[in-house]
Amino acid sequence: MKILLLSSPVVQRDFDRIARVPNLGLASLAAHVDDLCTVHVADIHGLKDHQEYVKKKVNGYDMVGLTAMSFQYQEALVLARIAKDAGAETVFGGYHPTLAAQEIGESRDAALIDYIVRGEGEATFRELVSSRLTGKSPKGILGLSYHEAEGSGKAKSNNADAARASKMVHNPDRPLLKVEEIEMPNRDARLITKGFYSFDVPIDCVETSRGCTQGCKFCSINLMYGRRFRRFSIERVIEDIRDAEAHGAGSIFFPDDNITLDPKRLERLCQAIIDAGLTHLRYKTQASASGIASSKTLVDKMGDAGFDGVFLGVESINKRNLEFLGKGKMSNDAEKAVQYLHDNNIIVSTGLIGGNPDDDEEDLWENFRLARKLKVDFPIFYISTPYPKTQMRAELEEMGLVTNSDFTRYDGLHANLKTLHLSEEEVQYITWQMNARYYDFEWFRYNKVKRLYPKWFANEVRRLAPFYARRKMDLALGRRTPKDFFREDLASGELCKGMT
């Protein structure tokens, strides 16, 4: 049996310029079936023509796995069509298929999907592969959705009616694994090993924990994992870092859901990195502002270990919005957190969320002013997104504020709602202006990127300067207006590059 696991090719192009990271989840899945079959992972999200690649590659594989968040789901269906036309079975996993399994099973999409592996996938996927090898029914496989009439009724590429007739059944959820049961990722399964970077350094992912105990209303993490926080042993993490380095990484991204839930443990991990002589690598992670602000000693240790980039979940400084988002008090934490990080020469990116129910124009610009005041290196001005099944969606729907349910735009940068004071287009336009105006000469002076990654920075300036110059000229000559640029960027999906 041959299995091909595909990353989602749909990425936020603005972020892709800064970092393109290989998919760790698929390498982990591969590790759980590589003794049963031949398994390959194709990280296709950096390819010029990913559909052409899949068309050429997919022949000879018996099963193709696809993963998708909400905004990536439609393209996953396109790839599933290619896989099914080549005779392969298709398995979907990830956030969107997990949370929307019921709806997918009852929709026309089910014609393209043989199985959905819901939630944490490793054990479910292994049992599915075993059942396909032995011909056993998938009936008892926890966490699996499948077509009941196995064989005759399962999804067929060219017979949507037959597939619709065989509705998917959804086995009970699978309890979370113990971390000791999770194998080390199989990076040797990757077919595409070049083209992954953070700034200009080759990057890979290493996870140190899974899950989060917080209950932010917009987040899907606890819908996937429950409010649980599971820690991998420090020894495993160090071994995994070594493996990533052996596979070419010079930079490591820890994609943990909330790595600072246990600050003492993160401090111990940093010490272990130092003791293991791994400080020559560059580490990056995402973290909560309150976790980072909780300990200067921790952040100093992160600096010593080689951390040089942190994406900070600040979300907002507005108490009313923090309340709405399900966050605790945070405004003071953000300032302290950014200070601690900058003191250690760590590049700070922040997620700031606007478009909350009571937001007016001033409230949105408040996030901009905060980022400027804190001299954030890469602020990302997000728009509240009512992801399926989240508490936020339920509340916004109740208030009649959700304006769009086309999930291809559910990427955090597109407005899919209005507020009590602003239309969807106004939220989108103001947020675009914020992203567009931030990267000006003042930012040029204080950002840390130009010092830490001078070559990358110089290349970006060279690449973007003509574009910005053209826009400035068009504005000065009255040939075009900011709204023209806005519409152009909206159409291209690159919402952070404007400069007006």
475: number of Cβ within 10 Å: 16
The nearest distance, CB 199 to ligand SF4, in angstroms, is 24
- Asked if residue 221 binds ligand SF4 (CB under 6 A), the reply is yes
Q: Tell me which H or E stretch contains 399.
A: none
Q: Which of 143, 263, 313, 355 binds ligand SF4 (CB under 6 A)?
A: 313
- Asked if residue 97 binds ligand SF4 (CB under 6 A), the reply is no
Eight-class DSSP state of 317: S
- Asked if residue 263 binds ligand SF4 (CB under 6 A), the reply is no
- Asked if residue 386 binds ligand SF4 (CB under 6 A), the reply is no
Q: Which is nearer to ligand SF4, 153 or 388 (CB)?
A: 388
The nearest distance, CB 219 to ligand SF4, in angstroms, is 3
Cβ-proximal residues to 154 (8 Å cutoff; 6+ apart), any chain: 89, 114, 146, 147, 163, 166
- Asked if residue 289 binds ligand SF4 (CB under 6 A), the reply is no
Taking the CA atoms of residue 253, residue 259, residue 265 and residue 271 in that order, the dihedral angle to the nearest 10 degrees is 20
Degrees, nearest 5: CA angle 277-282-287: 110
Q: Using CB under 6 A, which of the segments 126-134, 208-216, 236-244, 379-387 binds ligand SF4?
A: 208-216
The nearest distance, CB 327 to ligand SF4, in angstroms, is 7
Q: What residue type is 42 in one-letter code?
A: A
Q: What residue type is 29 in one-letter code?
A: L
- The dihedrals phi and psi of 183, each to the nearest 5 degrees, come to -70, 160
Which of 321, 306, 312, 323 minimizes the C-alpha distance to 289?
Answer: 312
Q: Which is nearer to ligand SF4, 11 or 219 (CB)?
A: 219
Q: Which of 5, 212, 237, 269 binds ligand SF4 (CB under 6 A)?
A: 212
The nearest distance, CB 436 to ligand SF4, in angstroms, is 26
Q: Which of 214, 318, 385, 416 binds ligand SF4 (CB under 6 A)?
A: 214
SS3 content of the chain, % helix, strand, coil (to 5): 45, 15, 40
Q: Which is nearer to ligand SF4, 291 or 498 (CB)?
A: 291
From residue 390 to residue 409, what is the string marking binding to ligand SF4 with x (rule CB under 6 A)? --------------------
- Asked if residue 109 binds ligand SF4 (CB under 6 A), the reply is no
- The dihedrals phi and psi of 168, each to the nearest 5 degrees, come to -75, 145
Q: Which residue has the tokens 């398994």?
A: 39
**Number of residues located near ligand SF4, criterion CB under 6 A:** 10
Q: Which is nearer to ligand SF4, 260 or 428 (CB)?
A: 260
Q: Using CB under 6 A, which of the segments 93-101, 209-217, 239-247, 297-305 binds ligand SF4?
A: 209-217
The nearest distance, CB 73 to ligand SF4, in angstroms, is 20
Cβ-proximal residues to 234 (8 Å cutoff; 6+ apart), any chain: 265, 268, 269, 272
CA distance 293 to 333: 6
Which of 43, 177, 48, 29 minimizes the C-alpha distance to 92?
Answer: 29
Q: Using CB under 6 A, which of the segments 15-23, 48-56, 219-227, 473-481 binds ligand SF4?
A: 219-227
Taking the CA atoms of residue 484, residue 487, residue 492 and residue 497 in that order, the dihedral angle to the nearest 10 degrees is 70
Q: Which of 208, 288, 349, 385 binds ligand SF4 (CB under 6 A)?
A: 288
Q: Which of 6, 219, 314, 383 binds ligand SF4 (CB under 6 A)?
A: 219
Tell me the C-alpha to C-alpha distance, in Å, between residue 350 and each of 314, 335, 355, 377, 405: 6, 11, 16, 8, 26
The nearest distance, CB 249 to ligand SF4, in angstroms, is 24
CA distance 108 to 85: 17
Q: Which residue has the tokens 């504005």?
A: 475
The nearest distance, CB 332 to ligand SF4, in angstroms, is 17
Q: Which residue has the tokens 């923090």?
A: 322
The nearest distance, CB 492 to ligand SF4, in angstroms, is 28
The nearest distance, CB 214 to ligand SF4, in angstroms, is 4
Residues near ligand SF4 (CB under 6 A): 212, 214, 216, 219, 221-222, 257-258, 288, 313
